[in-house]
Amino acid sequence: MSPAEIQPITILAVPFHGQSHLNQLLHFSLILSSRNLSVHFAAISSSIHQVQLRLHGWPSTSLGNIHFHELALPPPAPLPPSSPPHLSHALRLFDTPLLLLPSLSSLLHSLSLSSRRLILLHDTFMSVAAPEAASLPNAESYSFQCVSAFQALFELQPNIRPKTRANPIVAAHFDDWVPKPILERVKRLEHERPVEAGIIANSCRPLEGEFLDLLAEEYGPKKVFAVSPLHLIGPRVAVVSEKRHECLVWLDKQSVASVVYLSFGSTTTMAGVQIEQLALGLRRSGQRFIWVIREADEGAFGSEVDSRTGGLPAGFEEEMEGFGMIMKGWAPQVDILAHPSTAAFVSHCGWNSVMESLSFGVPIIAWPMQIDQPRNAMVLTEYLKVGVIVREWDRRREVVPAARVEEVVRMVVVEEEGKEMRERAKKIGEEMQRAVAEGGSSMADLNAFVDHITR
């Protein structure tokens, strides 16, 4: 290969294949490619298909510098007969990183030969590729963390004490809510995690400044770059010629800060009896709403309960028509949360949802279900004080009654008791938007990361 054909720098982005992980690393990759950096995005074929559907709206300056690679996924070994059927897809999801290693290794070596410097940018769960990068003379690796800084820190230091607190923050352990077969795989992937050149944190200083500082102390000489909220960088809204989603047209007709948005992510399904109580509580609250009810995507952490939208009370949809909207598929969540009519978000507290909500100053009614969500809810309600918990974690197997739903919705949206919470959320939203503006802390870290890898 002639010197003219050698790229000065090449970035290889390797996502984990859960939807929330995929979206964030894709967005970050597109931001980097818009800086005239050559980015190669490598994933299994189903993930490549998903991400290519999400490219609409990005300028040609971004798309011209990003290249997609389908990684060969060999057939997985049979799961043990004792494996719970409802976890089968999730178990295979966490087996995927090691299965992809031969294909990743080949791609790393190929890109290394055509680059002066090769940057491996991998999801935390794809760190199995980092030792391969370390074996190359011109490569270095960076971990892209989709979780909060608090969650990342908790894995290193279970009792977290910010300098502003007299007592440490103590949160529940994974063992309390992650199915054992999943937990074993997560720990195995964490065991594979090597020392890397740096960390890309999906967070920002207005939300987690103290935790980011503590994380930087834990990682020592390795750099920590806090570059979010990513959804505020790059194109967000659809082109003008496209028809707006019906829920946004409906929101246009509502009063400012009058609508409750409810969504519980793509990896959990709510039991029918809980759907019924939630519906009754919404009705009693007297607040308009947009409620996304969907079956969990295959590959979620699973539920042994066959939970359907049939839990809605008879006639509820007809009764609420015009007063609320029930959506049984995809919803434009960022646009809903950005809309001035949206007053509060009833959320499972997935970290991306938390970032999106608070970036627009929308307080959160926290209903955590699994994985890092209880810890995210703790940060929201006990540390930032921009949300209220629907139920304590040790009562998570109990059905939340309609009366409690009514109570928390009214408190956060209209009652005096929630006024300070609403004001704090609004202030944090303004600070988060300043963070990604020119001169803001997240934009400074993004610029610093680009400068660092192109040094």
Let me know the angle formed at the C-alpha of 370 by 367 and 375, rounded to the nearest 5 degrees: 70
Tell me the Ramachandran region of residue 31: left when phi exceeds 0, alpha when psi lies from -120 to 50, beta otherwise. Answer: alpha
Query: Distance between CA 137 and CA 412 in Å, rounded?
Result: 55
Query: Distance between CA 62 and CA 36 in Å, rounded?
Result: 8
Query: Distance between CA 323 and CA 345 in Å, rounded?
Result: 17
Q: Which amino acid is at 187?
A: K
Q: Is 428 helix (H, G, I), strand (E, B) or coil?
A: helix
Let me know the angle formed at the C-alpha of 433 by 217 and 209, rounded to the nearest 5 degrees: 15
- 153 with 215: CB under 8 angstroms? yes
What single DSSP character describes residue 381?
I
Instruction: For residue 372, indicate whether it is catalytic.
Output: no
CA-to-CA dists, residue 231 to 74, 204, 317, 336, 381, angstroms: 34, 12, 32, 13, 23
Q: Which amino acid is at 336?
A: I
CA 183, 189, 194, 198 torsion: positive or negative? negative
- 330 with 177: CB under 8 angstroms? no
Query: Distance between CA 122 and CA 421 in Å, rounded?
Result: 36
First to last CA, the chain: 23
Helix axes 205-219, 441-453, angle to 10 degrees: 40
- 418 with 412: CB under 8 angstroms? yes
- 378 with 171: CB under 8 angstroms? yes
Q: Considering 27, 40, 123, 348, which one is annotated as catalytic?
A: 123
Q: Considering 17, 21, 40, 339, which one is annotated as catalytic?
A: 21
CA 449, 55, 361, 166 torsion: positive or negative? negative
Query: Distance between CA 201 and CA 146 in Å, rounded?
Result: 7
Instruction: For residue 191, indicate whether it is catalytic.
Output: no
Cβ neighbors of 446 (< 8 A, separation 6 or more) are 31, 225, 227, 233
Let me know the angle formed at the C-alpha of 455 by 193 and 142, rounded to the nearest 5 degrees: 15
Query: Distance between CA 212 and CA 241 in Å, rounded?
Result: 41
Q: 142: which strand partners?
A: 121, 198
Let me know the angle formed at the C-alpha of 87 by 83 and 93, rounded to the nearest 5 degrees: 105
Give the active site residues: 21, 123
